């Protein structure tokens, strides 16, 4: 399905590449609390970053999803939140955003190294990120996040965190770090917090951090990144040292 409206004209290069029309921007502010709550100077930065994202990425709506300018902008703004201080360069290396109406299924193969047995199955996902491939999202889940912006969940931020992580080579929860964040501090702190979270989940304890974060170190990083942007006070209670490092990573301007 071809995109129409302002975004379609933008990709035809009939409009400047780094502007978002004022009426459209006002609609995004009304719909996205995480954007509206930012100070004016950060809103201006995000407006520029989002326009760049829209000019740079190709949106591909799936299964007949109507994908208008506002929906595309709302995705772009949330995708740019994690790189507000890291810089737009962290979003390079991939071009496509695939958006499904709701959760989508993917086939998986699992190889058990101990037995050599290969099993196949299907997972139902709200989002997926490929290292050099597309960002894949469920619009229904994005809408839920917009409706409850401080619930600790944000599928766009989650998948962008995976994109950042993979820039470090593989998915291990250790993205390329700015100079003011010590790699050893990051690795030791995150490993300790991740291990503690896994133990709590294994013992059936209720956790402030989503149990899904115990799936793997990269999922832990993506889940706590969601909390950093949508429920930072919860993260500060659950894992204060992780919260400290994420503030340094996401919120401190690069030197």
Q: What are phi and psi of 56, to 5 degrees?
A: -90, -30
Looking at residue 12, its pLDDT comes to 47
pTM for the full predicted model:
0.88
Q: How far apart are CA 235 and CA 177, in angstroms?
A: 20
Residues of the chain with pLDDT under 50: 1-2, 12-16, 110-112, 119
- Walk across the sheet containing 96-100 and list its strands: 58-61, 96-100, 135-138, 127-129
Looking at residue 127, its pLDDT comes to 80
Cα angle for residues 148, 153, 157 (degrees, 5° grid): 115
- pLDDT tens for residues 131-183? 889 999 999 999 999 999 999 999 999 999 999 999 988 899 999 999 999 99
Q: How far apart are CA 153 and CA 144, in angstroms?
A: 9
**Cβ distance 79 to 160 under 8 Å?**
yes
What DSSP state is assigned to residue 173? S
| Helix or strand holding residue 121 (H, E) | strand 118-125
Q: How far apart are CA 45 and CA 58, in angstroms?
A: 21
**Cβ distance 141 to 170 under 8 Å?**
no
Place of tokens 């909390």: 227
């Amino acid at each position: 399905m071809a995109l129409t409206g302002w975004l379609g004209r933008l990709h035809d290069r009939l409009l400047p590449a780094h502007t978002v029309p004022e009426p459209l921007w006002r609609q995004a502010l009304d719909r996205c609390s995480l954007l509206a709550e930012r100070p004016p100077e950060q809103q201006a930065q995000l407006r520029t970053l989002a326009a760049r994202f829209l000019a740079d990425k190709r949106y591909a709506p799936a299964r007949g999803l109507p994908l208008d300018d506002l929906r595309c902008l709302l995705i772009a703004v949330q995708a740019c939140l994690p790189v507000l201080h890291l810089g737009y360069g962290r979003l390079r290396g991939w071009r496509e955003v695939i958006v499904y109406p709701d959760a989508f299924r993917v086939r998986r193969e699992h190889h058990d190294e101990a037995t050599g047995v290969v099993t196949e199955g299907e997972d139902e996902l709200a989002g997926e990120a490929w290292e050099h491939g597309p960002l894949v999202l469920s619009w229904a889940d994005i809408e839920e996040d917009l409706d409850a912006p401080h619930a600790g969940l944000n599928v766009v931020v989650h998948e962008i965190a995976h994109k950042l992580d993979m820039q470090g080579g593989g998915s291990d929860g250790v993205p390329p770090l700015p100079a003011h964040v010590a790699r050893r501090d990051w690795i030791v702190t995150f490993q300790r917090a991740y291990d503690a979270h896994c133990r709590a989940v294994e013992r059936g304890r209720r956790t402030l951090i989503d149990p899904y974060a115990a799936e793997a170190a990269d999922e832990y990083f993506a889940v706590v990144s969601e909390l950093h942007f949508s429920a930072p006070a919860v993260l500060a209670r659950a894992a204060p040292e992780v919260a400290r490092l994420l503030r340094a990573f996401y919120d401190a301007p690069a030197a």
